[in-house]
Amino acid sequence: MSVRLSTDDWWLVAFGATVVHTAAMYWCMPTRKARLRMFAAPLAGWLFLLLPNATVKGYSVPHTLYIHSGVLLTFVVMGTACAGAGAYSWEYLVHG
C-alpha cells in the first residue's frame, strides 16, 4: 500500500477500480440476470466482507479501500485471462 496516497486519493482509486471491474466483468456475463448481479457485487463485497472484517481487525479506511481495489482488480485480471484462454482455445475445442 502506498503511504503517499491520502484517504481521498484512496477513495478515487477505489471508485476507479469499481468502475473498471463493473465495465470489464459486464461483457463476460452470459445472461441478463448475471449482468445485473455484477452491478451489485462491489456493494455486496463492502457490506458482507470488507466492512465487518475491517471493523474486527481494526483496519484504517485507506487500508480497507486498498483491499477493496485489489480484490476487484484481481477479478478483472483473472476474468480477462480466462476469457482470453477460452477465446484462444475455442477453435480447438469446437473442431477437435
**pLDDT score for 16:** 95
Is the predicted pLDDT of residue 67 greater than 80, yes or no? yes
How confident is the model over 15-64, as pLDDT tens digits?
999 999 888 888 777 788 888 888 888 888 888 878 888 888 888 888 88
Q: What is the DSSP string of the chain?
A: --TTS-HHHHHHHHHHHHHHHHHHHHTT--SHHHHHHHHHHHHHIIIIIIHHHHHHHT--HHHHHHHHHHHHHHHHHHHHHHHHHHHHHHHHHHH-
**pLDDT score for 35:** 83
**pLDDT score for 23:** 87
**pLDDT score for 96:** 63
**pLDDT score for 15:** 93
CB atoms within 10 A of CB 42: 22
The CA-based angle 55-57-60, given to 5 degrees, is: 65
How confident is the model over 78-94, as pLDDT tens digits?
877 777 777 777 777 77
**pLDDT score for 1:** 64
